[in-house]
Amino acid sequence: MVQLLDTTLKDAGDATLNLMFAARKSVFVDLLRWNIPVRDGCHEIDQFDDDHARYLILLTDDGRHLASTRLLPTTRPHILDTLFPNLCEHPLPRGSRTMEITRFCLDRSLRAIDRRRVRDQLVTAIVEHAIEHGITTYTGVAEMGWFQQILSFGWDCRPLGLPIEHEGSMLCALRIAIEPDTPLNLARAGIWSPTATPGLQERRAIGARG
């Protein structure tokens, strides 16, 4: 069974956070070769991992990391406005109901057969979090291959500008609208996959019915 932890740095245990930061280092630094900070040689942690960040972490019953993502408030400095404002042709979406999705990470230990299932569970958790907390918009920065996947998930996702080359990759800024029918649209696309986290069952049932 997969568990979902919705947490902050202050509330999460050190062991869980260290597993997430180690998984991020394995994916983004070791595999993808991103030029980003590494702490203690094994944890990928940057200036946005502060008390304002929120983390959605999928864990096995025995506490192993499966996948995670970081959500940043757009009312404060975040990746799009601080590092990549040139990706947006118009003013950046901001506000108390707009969050930025960053560090979407699938653990490298996952078998190929499990990666799609865990990815869908994390996407679903992102939407559930938005509905629960009144978030109407997500923003983000993605490489083009990942952006094309995001477009296929069934939600309302649009680019915020033309792709731009950065360190050998084409990057695109994006906006995702979270609406009442987003769960149904994800279900139609075969993405909607809730975890067994307590307290979310009623909303999941509504989403499944449309």
Domains of the chain (ranges; CATH) run: 2-201 (3.40.630.30)
pLDDT digits (tens, 9 = 90+) for 148-182: 999 999 999 999 999 999 988 899 999 999 999 99
* Segment 61-105, tens digit of pLDDT: 999 999 999 999 999 999 999 999 999 999 999 999 999 999 999
Mean pLDDT over the full length of the chain: 91
pLDDT of residue 31: 95
pLDDT per residue as tens digits for the range 97-130: 999 999 999 999 999 989 999 999 999 999 999 9
Please give the pLDDT value at position 167: 86
Q: What is the DSSP string of the chain?
A: -EEEEEE-TTTS-HHHHHHHHHHHIIIIIIIT------BTTTB---TT-STT-EEEEEEETT--EEEEEEEEETTS--HHHHT-GGG-SSPPP-STTEEEEEEEEE-TTS-HHHHHHHHHHHHHHHHHHHHHHT--EEEEEEEHHHHHHHHTTSSEEEESS--EEETTEEEEEEEEE--TTHHHHHHHTT-------TT-HHHHHHHHH-
